[in-house]
Amino acid sequence: MTDVPLLPTAAPGSTPIRVMTIAGSDSGGGAGIQADLRTFALLGLHACVAVTAVTVQNSLGVSGFQEITPDVVAAQMRCVIDDIGIGAAKTGMLASAPIIDAVAAQCRESGLGRGSDVPLVVDPVCASMHGDPLLATEALDTLRDTLIPLATVVTPNLDEVRLITGIDVVDDATQRDAARVLHGLGAQWALVKGGHLRSSDRSTDLLYDGTEFHEFDHVRIDTPHDHGAGDTLAAAITAALAHSYSVPDAVAFAKSWVSKGLAAAYPLGAGHGPVNPLWRVSRP
């Protein structure tokens, strides 16, 4: 039924590998924390959560959000990491500079991210697919200076690349330039997601660690129901890293996982439906 390799799951009664998502809640259930939890659960992991913001949204867009105070975001991380322990973490919507600062400080204190044993995937969420802002504009400097240097992998799409690096990726060469700049900001690996950059029927993501470029090419699944695709990709990378995959293997795994989810995406409400990690447990 699947060409996506199965990640090993824990035997009943034994504690699964734990991961953490540090992200915003999507009331529509398609992106953010909800996308992460669906992917983590279906990949056999126990997922812990540090909520950064509660968004008010449906399939038509985000009408507002309430931030969680930075100290409560950091406290959620600390109390989980100190007791339950995690094998990898990811960040999604972080909303503001003070929340990014608090998350980065807690990552340093708890030994998450670059240079530690616990990988940190930074999905630098700036806006929803409808263009609704999910990160304050003035927080971009903080993202660049404090969180990206802690990233094991940073996973921007082309809009986020433009906001973070100022580079307008239009072709193969500028995609490489962007990966170099992101790596230069301190991320151990930069994954520049290509979307429909190079052709309308392929999607090519570029991964760079300062020495070698790795390309991940896949048939582009053309669907309006791709809400949460970036979150799902980053969550699947995090899951594979928690299982000790190398970063290139984790990206390859995640790309096939999200492609299956896009192929199984469903309509929801009057707008855009979500990428569907439930394909794993769907009827054949």
* List of residues contacting ligand PXL (CB under 6 A): 23-24, 26, 31-32, 55, 57, 62, 92-93, 125, 128, 134, 228, 230-231
Residue nearest to ligand PXL (CB): 32
Q: Taking the complex as a whole, how short is the minimal distance between the CB of residue 17 and ligand PXL, in angstroms?
A: 23
Q: Taking the complex as a whole, how short is the minimal distance between the CB of residue 3 and ligand PXL, in angstroms?
A: 25
Q: Which CB sits closer to ligand PXL, 92 or 273? A: 92
CA 89 to chain CA centroid, Å, is 10
Quick one: which of 197, 225, 214 has its CA closest to 255?
A: 214
Q: Which CB sits closer to ligand PXL, 228 or 261? A: 228
Please state, as a whole number, how many other Cβ atoms lie within 10 Å of the Cβ of residue 9. 13
Pairwise CA distance, residues 251 & 264, whole Å: 20
Q: Taking the complex as a whole, how short is the minimal distance between the CB of residue 284 and ligand PXL, in angstroms?
A: 29
Q: Which CB sits closer to ligand PXL, 180 or 264? A: 264
Q: Which CB sits closer to ligand PXL, 125 or 143? A: 125
256: left (phi over 0), alpha (psi -120 to 50) or beta: alpha
44: left (phi over 0), alpha (psi -120 to 50) or beta: left
Residues in the chain: 284
Q: Taking the complex as a whole, how short is the minimal distance between the CB of residue 102 and ligand PXL, in angstroms?
A: 18
Please state, as a whole number, how many other Cβ atoms lie within 10 Å of the Cβ of residue 66. 11
Q: Taking the complex as a whole, how short is the minimal distance between the CB of residue 83 and ligand PXL, in angstroms?
A: 26
Q: Which CB sits closer to ligand PXL, 17 or 73? A: 73
Pairwise CA distance, residues 101 & 145, whole Å: 10
